[in-house]
Amino acid sequence: MTTTTQSRATPVASEAAERAAAAGGGVATRRRPGVRIPRPSGWSLIRLASILVYVFMFAPIAVVVLLSFNSSRFGTFPLEGFSFRWFEALWANDAIVSAFQTSLVLGFLTAIISTSIGIAASLAMVRYDFPGKGLINTALITPILVPEVVLGVALLLFLRWLSIPKSFLLLLMGHVLITLPFVVLVVQARLTAIKPVYEEAAKSLGANAWETFFRVTLPLLMPAVFAGMLFAFTISFDDVTATLFWKSGGTETVPTQIFAMLRNSISPEINALGTVMIVLTVSLPLIAGGLARWFARGGRG
Amino acid sequence: MSTLAESRRPWLLLSPALGTLSFLLVAPLGFIVVYSFWLRTATGADMGGFHLDNWVEFFTDAFYHDILFYTVRVALITTILCAVVGYIPAYFIANTRMKNKALLLLLLMLPFWISYIIRTLSWINILGTGGAVNYVLMQLGIVNEPLQLLYNEPSVILGLMHYLLPFMILNVYVSLSGIDGNLVAAARTLGATPFGAFLKVTLPLSMPGLAAGSLLCFVLGAGTYITPLILGGPTNAMFANLIFEAIIIQLNWPLGAALSIVLLVVLGTVVTVYGRLMGLNQISKSFG
């Protein structure tokens, strides 16, 4: 047995988690020095069970994609032939196209607003000490801890009482609320890792607070800004639980549109729509991960 | 620069966030507490004041209690299954010698990015009468008629597991990968069996992650109405379904407000008890 000591505080865990959260991916895991721990017995059993969990997670998603290319009229097995007809049907369906537009605009605006608010809050939490900080820290993640149904009901009834009708604005405000804690968590984690010495250096060279922020802090923070925006966009784009309470009668987002279509039965069109959503939500983090790395290199490819 | 301006700055930076939280969260929650004492009259108008009717209805009608217990039961079963099923791949990724640990983890997190409603309805393709399982069973001649595998409690729990498992795996993994491997090696040198070392060293040290994952699974599971609506039958309604029903279908908003408070208090108690025991920062940990 070697005597090499292993550093207890290896940040691999948090790095990996952040990577998963930011979905950057592809960065090689650092090899940890230390003893080679003997494999637990039953390792092959553990491996087999893990593979089964992967199958459990991916099989239903794979079947959605598979069935979306099935030419059968019912959207079910057996597979009859390869066809793009359900994707063409999607394109021709005005309700779905407009739901997509709504979701994209909503997600984009949510991401911008939520990330701006989140960056300011994170700066206060990481760079300053002030009374009541612990309480504020808890308050900032409260929207995660309150059941989403309750968020939906409370905001809806409150704004009704204020005579603010269901509208796109209500939807936007609600989505900012539910995405804010995630943005704050992601940005705070990154900001903690940026040493304040850079900002202090800028200040000592005569930069004011604004200049310091826009020319030093923000560029360093760019990966987290992207991760936060992406997080906010995805959560907004996917949300159905609270959105069903907030949307007005005529407005549908993609998830609520799917929900409405499901009321009849599962159609092959839903599978095609599912495939589009899957491709979109899976490729977005990858693109953003690439963009974040590009920015991390200083924006010069 | 005055120190006063300096001490004001954090509050200035926090003001948009705190404004958002006060106006969109705190005030609405306060409002529904008051609103739950109002009445919805037959004409559809609200009657203000202090009426206990909604609360009397909740506390005396066994229908609500049964569904509340049923909700806790489903969320509890789901949480336990997620803990058992999620621990294994988390342990595997934390201990594998494969180089692409991050990729393995990322793969399991991928479904987290995929729309919840798509993932939920994808089970119809698996379990429905025209789904994969029935298709295979019929092709093999095991059954002649498709089995009714959907719209029951197991299908709701399965759908919830698929939704919640990534939360569990991520939290357990974060805990497991923070454990000093020397501790297990030491236990083994001192004569512990591999399983003994796992029970006495690894499992206790991974408890924070397991607990955080369980909290998330329970709270998110107990607060859902989409999964029971899509994958459950009429007897699988959960508490959030009652709220949805009251607000969207019956338009009895004061009752919906009262039921929302019940759900908030029940799940809030769980979160508070957990926070006292474990602290809430473990949950933030899985974000970085």
Within this chain, do residues A217 and A129 fall inside the same structural domain, yes or no? yes
Q: What's the pLDDT score for residue A175? A: 97
A131 touches chain B (CB under 8 A): no
The answer to the question of residue A238 being in a domain is yes
Average pLDDT, chain B: 89
Domain check: are A61 and A180 in the same one? no
Q: Which residues of A touch B189 (CB under 8 A)?
A: 1
DSSP, residue by residue, B81-147: HHHHHHHHHHHHHHH---S-HHHHHHHHHHHHHS-HHHHHHHHHHHHSTTSHHHHHHHHTTS-SS--
Residue A103 is assigned to a structural domain of this protein: yes
The predicted pLDDT at position B43 comes to 73
Q: Determine the pLDDT at residue A28.
A: 41
Same domain flag for A199 and A287: yes
Q: Facing residues of B93 across strands?
A: none
Residues in chain A with CB shorter than 8 Å from the CB of B285 are 14, 17
Residues A47 and A187 in one domain: no
Interface residue B133 vs chain A (CB under 8 A) = no
> With 0-12 CB in 10 A as exposed, 13-18 as middle and 19+ as buried, what is A9?
exposed
Please tell me the CATH superfamily of domain B63-285, with its number. MetI-like (1.10.3720.10)
Residues of A in contact with B263 (CB under 8 A): 147, 149-150
What ranges in chain B are assigned the alpha helix state H?
Answer: 3-21, 27-35, 53-60, 62-95, 101-113, 116-127, 132-139, 153-177, 181-189, 194-197, 203-205, 207-222, 226-231, 239-244, 253-278, 281-285
- Indicate whether A154 and A276 sit together in one domain: yes
pLDDT digits (tens, 9 = 90+) for B28-61: 999 999 999 988 877 777 777 888 888 998 999 9
Please state, in angstroms and rounded to a whole number, the distance separating the CA atoms of residues B35 and B48: 8
Do A144 and A214 share a domain, yes or no? yes
Strand-pairing partners, residue A70, are: A82
The 10s digit of each residue's pLDDT in A3-53 is 333 333 333 334 444 444 443 333 344 444 444 555 656 788 999 999 999
Residue A49 belongs to domain spanning: 42-83
Q: How confident is the model at residue A200 (pLDDT cuts 50, 70, 90)?
A: confident
Q: Report how far residue A102's alpha carbon sits from residue A125's, in angstroms, rounded to the nearest whole number.
A: 33
Judge contact between B228 and B163, C-beta under 8 A. no
Q: What is the DSSP string of A196-211?
A: THHHHHHHHTT--HHH
Q: Where are the domains of chain B?
A: 63-285
Total number of domains in chain A: 2
How many Å apart are CA A94 and CA A187, to the nearest integer? 38
Q: Touching check for B3 and chain A: CB below 8 Å?
A: no
In tens, the pLDDT along B220-238 reads 999 999 999 999 998 999 9
| CA separation for the pair B273, B219 (Å, rounded) | 13
Residues of chain B neighbouring A238 (CB-CB closer than 8 A): 115-117
Spatial distance between the Cα atoms of B212 and A62, rounded to a whole number of angstroms? 29
Q: Out of A83, A107, A136, pick the residue that ends a domain.
A: A83
Burial class (CB in 10 A: 0-12, 13-18, 19+), A33: exposed
Does A61 have pLDDT greater than 70?
A: yes
**Would an 8 Å CB–CB cutoff place B8 in contact with chain A?**
no
- pLDDT digit string (tens) for A109-143? 999 999 999 999 999 999 888 888 889 988 998 89
Here the ipTM equals 0.90
A47 in reach of chain B (CB within 8 A)? yes
Q: Would you call A127 exposed, middle or buried from its count of C-beta atoms within 10 A (0-12, 13-18, 19+)?
A: middle
Q: Give yes or no: residues A229 and A279 share one domain.
A: yes
Please list, in sequence order, all residues whose beta carbon lies within 8 angstroms of the beta carbon of residue B138, skipping any fewer than 6 positions away.
B144, B146
